[in-house]
Structure 1
Amino acid sequence: MTYPSQPGYPTPHYGQPQPPRQNNLWLIGGAILVVLVVIMTVVLLVVQQTAGDDSAKGGDGSTTEGEPSGDASSDEETGGDGGDTEGGDVGPAEMTADACDAFDMSKFEEVFGEFREDDTYRSASNSNGLSSLSCSFYDDDFMYVNVYVSDYEDASDVQSWVESDADYYTAEEGYEFSEYTEIGDAGSYWTKDESGYKTLTLHIALGSLEVKLYTSLYDEENVDEAAAVETLADFAKQCETLFADYM
């Protein structure tokens, strides 16, 4: 007798069927979240501790620096007259380009016109420990005063140099020369008429400092020569105060 063949069974895939992974993913995600929370907490604690230390240190420093001395308090109560740029006294300054901003411009504005601070030319140099400075100041009409200051090793060299002006400018054609004795150890003043304007130059020896100041008066501008010379002299006096440490 012939038996019917048994029905075939499908061949199973390799390995067993995988269980659902949803529960494992939740567990992994939860673990990561816990780790992140712990890290964030530690970082927060460290930051707060550091900020607290810095605040404590900064508080001590600002208190010490912020306590004014008796002199500073006194200056503040007087209204700070020394800081007034109109008629206030100028103080000592280093011979750098910034020194051009230390000049009191009230006399300049009185004689020439409104001072154009943004147009100021500043230049300074130092060679072998000897400083020099050049400042050019302008008004609204671009009339100017130039201030040049140079430090020498020996005051006698400066005086001799200024005194030698007489030999040159009295002999040179077109110049009017005179000695200037109002300021310094030696002084010279000379003028020259040009086409449409007149140049004025004041040359002074202040100890070991050579101070040279000059301007040009244009025919169409209403600036008195004597007043212009007073302005040059005013700058010279300020140089005597500003750069006294160099003299």
Structure 2
Amino acid sequence: MEEEKILENITKSITEKLKVPIILTYVCVLVIHNWDILFYLFFESSTASSKIKYVKDNYSELYYERIFDCLIIAVILIVLFTILNTTINFCLKWFYRKDKEISSQIESYEQVSFLREQLSKSLEEIKKLKSEVESLNNINESLKSKNLDINVDEISRKDFNSILLYISSQPNKDKLLFSFKEFINAFKKGGDVEREELYKSATYEHEMKLLVDYFARTNFLKIDYRFNNITKKNGYLIDLSKSIKDILLMDI
């Protein structure tokens, strides 16, 4: 059903388009082919009846031939014109399609050239960024090496100052400072120091415990349960950090 409707629409369209050209072409061919009769009828100075009689007498045998020949000629001309028009349209469409293809190829080439240029710029930017990253890494490594190249005595001095700062911030700072001196003197004697013995020998046991607890929290010392070479028995022995050992060498 749909195909029949499509064919019907095509037929109607062709008929409507060819109806007026055929009529006009037929009229033109009819006038040109019968110019002698028309010339006689319009320009001969005689009565109408004599003109009609003259036409019938001379052209009666060719009456239908003059009419139908013009119709055939008109149809042939319309067909030739349609073929010519279709050929011209086909050629124009072909040229138009080729022009679009060439234009699209040119646009594609321009786009490829633009993308290639952008890609080269991006690669150059990536190279620059890589070089910048490498230089930054080198700077970072140099800074790390500089930061690592610090005198150990300076670190011990800073730790010593932080201990004094902690002691001075406490309400019982005098007792803590005295306990700190006793702590240093206990380790200057040499040998292992046991925690409980340190507490018992301290003048202010409570402050000594606070100080040892602070040192343990700040990793200035650690307490290990092991065999004591002096007492010949196991106990909680105190191991000092490098900073505290350096502090022992200071003249306090």
- The TM-score normalised by the length of structure 1 is 0.31
- Kindly name which structure, 1 or 2, has the bigger radius of gyration based on alpha carbons: 2
Larger proportion of strand:
1
- The TM-score normalised by the length of structure 2 is 0.30
Larger proportion of helix:
2
